[in-house]
Amino acid sequence: MQKRKPLREIMPKKKPVSQKTDIAPSERPKLSKIEQKRLDNELLDAANDDNEDIMDIRRLIKAGARIDAEKKDEKEIQMAPGSGETQTLVLAATEHAKPAENRKKVFEARKTGDTALQRAAFKGRTLTCALLIKEYVKAGGDPKKLIRSEKTGDTALKWAANEGHTETCALLIQEYVNAGGDARKLIEAEKKGWTALHLAAFKGYLQTCKLIMEEYEKAGGDPKKLVSMEVKGGWTAIDWAQNRGYNETSHYLRSFIN
């Protein structure tokens, strides 16, 4: 009796199915201006959402939302100056300007161009920041330009430092360095004189100040120079911490000049 061949040997062989890959940005169908704006705004809102939804952010990026898109809003000043805010709040806290004048200006609406990365940094969404940077690089973008805007001089680092999100600050500095950037330039970056250190000191975020100083020194920066940088009115990060009653923070920063 003839021996039968195993079934797997006589069955026709199937061609291997190629795995689907992400569609390259250049191969995606061109979106209408309205659809592009809608996706961009949805991504900006998702990055700013109190509930960090990584899957939703991935979906929006895949659909064609631009990671470096900006959304211009009218809003009142809610945080310390330096992250795109006016200088009014600084002057209001010092003796250099008339109180009545400041009260009027503090609540003036202004135009702001915020990116998804800046919004996520402001909320302390470290995972979202990491994803946005990763996807931006995948699409051929330079993460240094995303983290530090050459156009406005603003940085996502300042947005994170302004709210004391130390872990987010650490990620942004590391990603900037990994992309070949100089951490000193990122940390020294200022808008109207305000650096990330000024903003952290303004609200007394000691751990954030420590991280910034450590990363600055690690990159070869002079810590005395950083703590001595002045905003309009001649105030340093030490002055702000001391003036607002954050003694532990002011003592730590002062140790670099004593």
The domains found in the chain, sorted by start residue, are 32-69+78-254 (1.25.40.20)
| Amino acid 233: pLDDT | 79
pLDDT tens-digit series, residues 41-84:
888 888 877 777 889 888 888 888 888 888 655 343 334 443 33
Among 111, 112, 123, 109, residue whose Cα is nearest residue 48: 123
**Higher pLDDT, residue 159 or 72:** 159
Q: Give the model's confidence band at 150: pLDDT under 50 very low, under 70 low, under 90 confident, else very high.
A: confident
Considering only residues 145 and 112, tell me which one the structure prediction assigns the higher pLDDT.
145
SS3 call for 53: coil
Alpha-carbon gap, residue 225 to 77, rounded angstroms: 29
Arithmetic mean of pLDDT over the chain: 78
Highest mean predicted confidence (pLDDT) among 89-98, 105-114, 209-218 = 209-218
Q: What is the dihedral of CA 183, 188, 192, 194, to 10 degrees?
A: 100
Binned at pLDDT 50, 70 and 90, residue 98 comes out as very low
Q: Are 203 and 162 in contact (CB under 8 A)?
A: yes
pLDDT at 102 over 90: no
Q: How far apart are CA 205 and CA 249, in angstroms?
A: 7
Q: For position 72, what pLDDT does the model report?
A: 57
Residue 204: pLDDT band (50, 70, 90) is very high
Instruction: Return the H-helix or E-strand segment holding 197.
Output: helix 196-202
What mean pLDDT do residues 25-52 have?
77
Highest averaged pLDDT of the listed ranges 21-25, 116-120, 211-215: 211-215
CB 182 within 8 A of CB 147: no
pTM of this structure: 0.71
Q: How confident is the model at residue 11 (pLDDT cuts 50, 70, 90)?
A: very low
Which of residues 232 and 198 earns the better pLDDT score? 198
Q: Which residue has the higher pLDDT, 203 or 87?
A: 203
Position 174 pLDDT exceeds 50 = yes
Helix/strand/coil for 106: helix
